């Protein structure tokens, strides 16, 4: 991995490879400004998970994990694979996710 290119990808571009492990890549059709907002929501939710765990608050942790899931689905990293969705389905996925997170 280099700072300029990011993590290695599989030849089909569907997965990134980090330390030999494959992870589903973000949907490349998401406009960069939208993807940045979704990543911001994801990182905020991950911080909330950590804070909830530190404070031993199971309800807050469940809520934060649900936000992580929603962010990952909107980014195309979970749920129906983005390469199996039509362009309108892909747009709807990230628009609905962003609407729920904003």
The average confidence (pLDDT) of the chain is 95
Residue identified by tokens 């983005």 is 82
**pLDDT over threshold 50, residue 25:** yes
**CA–CA separation, 100 and 67 (whole Å):** 9
| Beta bridge mates, 24 | 15
Q: Which residue has the higher pLDDT, 38 or 6?
A: 38
pLDDT at 66: 98
Query: What are the structural domain ranges in the chain?
Result: 30-101
Mean pLDDT of 53-70: 98
- 1 falls in which pLDDT band (50, 70, 90)? very low
**pLDDT over threshold 80, residue 45:** yes
pTM for the complete prediction? 0.90
Burial (CB < 10 A; 0-12, 13-18, 19+), residue 4, is: exposed
pLDDT at 4: 55
């Amino acid at each position: 991995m280099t700072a300029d290119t990011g993590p290695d990808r599989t030849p089909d571009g569907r997965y990134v490879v980090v330390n030999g492990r494959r992870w589903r890549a973000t949907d490349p059709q998401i406009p960069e400004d939208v993807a940045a907002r979704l990543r911001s929501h994801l990182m905020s939710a991950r911080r909330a998970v950590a804070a909830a765990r530190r404070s031993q608050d199971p309800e807050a942790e469940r809520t934060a994990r649900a936000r992580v899931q929603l962010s990952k689905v909107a980014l195309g990293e979970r749920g129906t694979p983005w390469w199996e969705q039509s362009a309108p389905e892909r747009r709807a996925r990230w628009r609905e996710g962003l609407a729920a997170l904003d």
